[in-house]
Structure 1
Amino acid sequence: MKYGIIEDYTETKPLLVRRKDLKGHTLTMVNVIVDSNDTRQHLDDRLQLHQDSITKMSYMAVKICFEMLNATERLVFTHTWGYRDKQGNWQGIIDHLIKNEADLGTLTIFTQERMEVIDYIAMVGSTSVRFVFREPPLSYVSNIFALPFSSSVWLACFVCVLGCAVFLYITSKWEASLGSHPLQLDGSWADVLILIIGAVLQQGCTLEPRRAAGRCVTLLLFVALTILYAAYSANIVVLLRAPSSSVRSLTDLLNSPLKFGASDFEYNRYFFKKLNEPIRKAIYDKKIAPKGQKPNFYSMNEGIEKVRKGLFAFHMELNPGYRLIQETYQEDEKCDLVEIDYINEMDPWLPGQKNSPFKDLFKINFIKIRESGLQACIHHRLHVPKPKCSGTVSTFSSVGITDMYPGMLATLYGMLLAPAVLLLEIAYKRL
């Protein structure tokens, strides 16, 4: 009342400002349950946090919104977010919203088809679905026996060895002209080559120079190669267990030696088949669901265990996956986790009925919830960040056949080459 006159607020204040109390009107939320039916009893407590985390995050924010509007909540449960079937009919959350059986739903990823039949109200939480894997050992993607030295160092080593070989050949020729000895180099390139190979491999040779000039060259050769050998060996020890940083994109992932799998949820099966970009399609067709084989879909526990063992990329929702990793991995196993986005999606939003009369009311109250810090509080309670590596744990790890593959391959080549050289020597002697 102003100066004895009753002011009409219907003309000065919008409807949304005046309609703050719904007088106990029933509002319905549809919740997706995919992990366990026990989630129905633990939607807003801190029990069984590893189950249906995104559903709990959504419900906690919606519950506060309903209380702010003085509305009576009604909960409906479904097993899927909502996709079209072959007949064009919707399922899950989207079906409930289209039929006006619910006002809000669990956080849902944006798709063009959904935007045509529902409205997205607000972002009240965040989650991501990505490939997670442990960086493969460097020996699986590179020849670690060629990595310790740069190309310039390798070139310097070659020049050093070649120079010593030339000087040894000259001194051995000179010594042979002065006299002979059973253990003396006879001035041939073959004997010099045997001595050089022995020095490079840190081995000795029965034939060696007898004069000071030749011995000085031999001493310098062995000292130089011993220093290089020590540096080379130290680098090899480090590289044997060093992780590789070569897998950082979907293309790298496709061409890597890693095996693939995905969590056994409907959204994974939907988006893997929906995305037709060449790299993504190749990942699904060649790695996830090869033709003629059973698709590689696993439970969260099974997939996380495969990631822990290494050389396995698992496509999963990060929130429950990282919580399980925090609970089951050793500290050193958390240090080399890598994630790569496959779907390339935005943060999910709460879905609501198309052109609902409560749409603007919901939006205003969810903004208030976010600005007051309640949304951040809910997020911190349920969100699990990427596990951090303490950096203080050192563990023993054995070396496998794969790590020594180049060395074993060189041995195999030597074994195959030896009989061929023997036959050539026999043929040369007879001819």
Structure 2
Amino acid sequence: MGTFKFRDVDALSKRNYGTFICLMHALNLTYKIVWKESYGYFNKTTKKWNGVVQDLITGYSNLSGTPLLMNNDRLPYVDFLSDITQKLDINFILKRPPVSEVRDIFDIAFHKHVWYSLFPTFLLLTAGVAFVLFIETRYFGGPNRAPGDAFLILLEAVCQQGTLTLVVTAGGAILFFVVFMIFMLFYTAYAANIVGLLQSTRTVDDLETFLQSSFQAGAEDTHYMYFYMKEARGAIRKEIYRTKIGDKGFYPMKEGLERVMKGGFAFNILSTPAWFYLTKYYDESDVCSLQTLRGDYIPSQLGYVPIPKGLVHKEILKIASIRVAEYGLHYRNYIRYILRPKCTSIPPSFKGIEITDVKRPFLIIVGGVVLSISIISLEILYNKVKNRLRLRKNAFI
């Protein structure tokens, strides 16, 4: 327990073992360690407790070396000491996803203020081109233009396709040059940002973003994880459990972390054994590509040391635990088990472009084809009806 070997095995108990020993020495107590198979849960069928809580209720044990989570079921049967444990650090561990998996890269390539400025710029230039075409047609003998020609010319400039429209005045040529130059700069900046975003990663900052992403999720196969994941509070947490985890989404630590390293998977686990396993079997660059996301399935994430209800030595234990906390001994034991590497920079991520990354352009293409077919079908129908009415009118005459 105190040799720091196999930190990934029963890490919760080992992390608190040093603090427990300090407490025993502070009170000059002799102790005997008893191992139990469960933290202690109430069986609704047998109406009995098991594990650590059962030993405390029956008086077989006087103090738990392993911190437990405080809940309404346990409060009537055991008391808790709160000063000799640290936060449990149970979080989702996941690989930082590409930006395209959590945001629409075709929207964030420009800041919203740039998008807002593009629309009035487009309308202003359209009005300018329409005015030039009108002047050339009326005063300089230019060819007749349809009202929508100016709009089509601006679309050609936006898409950098060039135009077959000819101008006959120097002022019109200058305006066309300015229009195509402006949108060439926008087009170049936009394309460069898209390429950069396709090869960038982004940290998932909140559960709502995680829920809307394509990530799958799982949780460590432990007693407390089963209990608290199924009793999740909050609509988002319940939806994550229902859609991404479910009753079959609990895995052993090794299997869950291997899924994390493959990408597209988040694993809810106690951080201490997870980082120990990852730093032992994976390179630093691989580990530094990971992030944590607080799931808060366990309220406050604080562990408390349980003692029997009505224990006569409760005040003595309470004072001793406060002294251990004041000396910082519990924090010293806590940081000795936290092995996450300090990453000076996030390693670059390169991947091929997938169909999901370019979903927006494909939708635009499909939508455009459907819209054009629909419009031409209506035009054909309109012409047929128009010709039929004309034939009827001629036959009547």
TM-score band by shorter chain is 0.7 to 0.9
User: Does the 8 A contact of 2:204 with 2:210 survive in 1?
Assistant: no
Name stretches of at least 5 consecutive residues in structure 1 with no aligned partner. Answer: 1-42
1:154 corresponding residue in structure 2: 115
Cα offset for 1:214?
1.9
Please give the secondary structure, in 2, of the residue aligned with 1:314.
Answer: strand
Q: Which moved further from structure 2: 217-226 or 50-59?
A: 50-59
1:62-101 → structure 2 map (5 Å cutoff): 62-86=20-44, 87-101=46-60
User: Does the 8 A contact of 1:138 with 1:144 survive in 2?
Assistant: yes
Query: Equivalents in 2 of 1:49, 1:276: separation in Å?
Result: 31
The 1:207–1:101 alpha-carbon spacing in structure 2 relative to 1, beyond 3 Å, is same
1:7 corresponding residue in structure 2: none
Query: Equivalents in 2 of 1:393, 1:135: separation in Å?
Result: 11
1:320-359 → structure 2 map (5 Å cutoff): 320-327=273-280, 328=282, 330-331=284-285, 333-334=288-289, 336-359=291-314
1:392-403 → structure 2 map (5 Å cutoff): 393-403=347-357
Cα offset for 1:179?
4.9
The 1:214–1:424 alpha-carbon spacing in structure 2 relative to 1, beyond 3 Å, is farther
User: Does the 8 A contact of 2:95 with 2:263 survive in 1?
Assistant: yes
Please give the secondary structure, in 2, of the residue aligned with 1:163.
Answer: helix
Cα offset for 1:202?
0.8
2:248 corresponding residue in structure 1: 295
User: Does the 8 A contact of 1:81 with 1:108 survive in 2?
Assistant: yes
Cα offset for 1:99?
2.1
Partner amino acid for 1:99?
Answer: T
Query: Equivalents in 2 of 1:201, 1:54: separation in Å?
Result: 59
How many residues are paired up?
Answer: 379
Which residue of the other structure, out of 111, 124, 129, is the alignment partner of 2:84?
124
Q: Deviations over 1:261-289 (max 9, x none)?
A: 21111101112334465554444344432
Partner amino acid for 1:376?
Answer: Y
Please give the secondary structure, in 1, of the residue aligned with 2:79.
Answer: strand
Cα offset for 1:193?
3.7
Query: Equivalents in 1 of 2:204, 2:348: separation in Å?
Result: 23
Query: Equivalents in 1 of 2:371, 2:235: separation in Å?
Result: 44
Is residue 58 of structure 2 the alignment partner of residue 104 of structure 1? no
1:14 corresponding residue in structure 2: none
Cα offset for 1:186?
4.0
Partner amino acid for 1:345?
Answer: S
Is residue 218 of structure 2 the alignment partner of residue 261 of structure 1? yes
2:391 corresponding residue in structure 1: none
2:392 corresponding residue in structure 1: none
The 1:61–1:134 alpha-carbon spacing in structure 2 relative to 1, beyond 3 Å, is same
Is residue 190 of structure 2 the alignment partner of residue 237 of structure 1? no
User: Does the 8 A contact of 2:11 with 2:272 survive in 1?
Assistant: yes
The 1:199–1:122 alpha-carbon spacing in structure 2 relative to 1, beyond 3 Å, is closer
Query: Equivalents in 2 of 1:64, 1:195: separation in Å?
Result: 80
Is residue 130 of structure 2 the alignment partner of residue 169 of structure 1? yes
Cα offset for 1:364?
4.1
Calculate the TM-score normalised by the size of structure 2: 0.82
Query: Equivalents in 2 of 1:405, 1:342: separation in Å?
Result: 33
The 1:246–1:121 alpha-carbon spacing in structure 2 relative to 1, beyond 3 Å, is closer
Which residue of the other structure, out of 158, 166, 175, is the alignment partner of 1:208?
166
Q: Which moved further from structure 2: 119-128 or 195-204?
A: 119-128
RMSD: 3.2
2:362 corresponding residue in structure 1: 408
Cα offset for 1:145?
1.8
User: Does the 8 A contact of 1:83 with 1:92 survive in 2?
Assistant: yes
User: Does the 8 A contact of 1:109 with 1:348 survive in 2?
Assistant: yes
Cα offset for 1:67?
4.4
Cα offset for 1:378?
1.7
2:337 corresponding residue in structure 1: 382
Cα offset for 1:201?
0.5
Query: Equivalents in 2 of 1:265, 1:144: separation in Å?
Result: 38
Indicate the percent of aligned positions where both proteins have the same amino acid.
Answer: 28
Is residue 371 of structure 2 the alignment partner of residue 417 of structure 1? yes
The 1:336–1:218 alpha-carbon spacing in structure 2 relative to 1, beyond 3 Å, is farther
The 1:252–1:198 alpha-carbon spacing in structure 2 relative to 1, beyond 3 Å, is closer
Please give the secondary structure, in 2, of the residue aligned with 1:379.
Answer: helix
Calculate the TM-score normalised by the size of structure 1: 0.76
The 1:215–1:399 alpha-carbon spacing in structure 2 relative to 1, beyond 3 Å, is same
Query: Equivalents in 1 of 2:346, 2:206: separation in Å?
Result: 25
1:273 corresponding residue in structure 2: 230
Name stretches of at least 5 consecutive residues in structure 2 with no aligned partner. Answer: 388-397
Partner amino acid for 2:133?
Answer: S
Partner amino acid for 1:260?
Answer: A
